Amino acid sequence: MAEARIRRRDLARRLAGVAALSGLSALIGCDTPRHGSMPIVDGVQSQAAAKLHTCAACHGRQGVSRAEIFPNLAGQQKDYIIAQLTAFRDRTRQDRDAKAYMWGFAVRLDPMTMQDFAAYYAAQKPARPAAGDKAEIAVGEAIYKTGVADRGVLACAACHGERGEGNAEIPRLAGQHRDYLMVQLKAFASGARDNGAMSLVAKGMTLADIKAVATYMAGAS
């Protein structure tokens, strides 16, 4: 556990250095497209296109991240992305990773830029499903679709959709990184991430439940 914390801290420092040297100018208003700039958003050359380089450092050029601590944004619900960016900017989302990675980046985002970011990532092709243990996937599917009645765990599908596609401000879970989903469920359970409905659900889940559901969703499409 100590080694994992050290790796995360070192990664945060490296990302902060990269942002300071090459990405921060994009974040605070450098609208001149650079080499390999992001594609046009909604058919119009958006002023936010160059700023997407900053997001790509963690979330990937087209919203599929290589590191599991950073969520995939490709195919994510537009309204959900806007809601989270607003929460990061206003510092109302206070889980550890939000503070470490997103507060500083979101502080200068205006509503139009948030709209552009969300439209771009929502239009991207979702990440490929990840392989997982078949037995664990089966357990996760059962919890996701029917819940665990004796522990008050409601079916995830009731809100997130039968296939984990999400809706409006309810996020897409299908194809998301397993480790990221596990971290978020633990944050809901502990209260580190504030969401009434999710906190109630997550508090009734065991660690085995959390891992199974996260594994199932990582392999969904």
Mean pLDDT of 53-57: 88
Confidence of residue 96 (pLDDT cuts 50, 70, 90): very high
Domain spans of the chain, in order of start: 2-122, 134-218
Average model confidence (pLDDT) across the chain: 84
With beta carbons less than 8 A apart as the criterion, state whether 212 and 178 touch. Answer: no
- Taking only the tens place, the pLDDT of each residue in 137-163 is 999 999 999 999 999 999 999 999 999
- Token reading at 54: 């900053």
Instruction: Report helix, strand or coil for 120.
Output: helix
Q: Could you say which architecture CATH assigns to the domain 2-122? A: Orthogonal Bundle (1.10)
Which class in CATH covers the domain with range 134-218? Answer: mainly alpha
- pLDDT for the residue numbered 54: 85
Q: Tell me how many helices (H) and strands (E) the chain has.
A: 12, 0
Global pTM value: 0.81
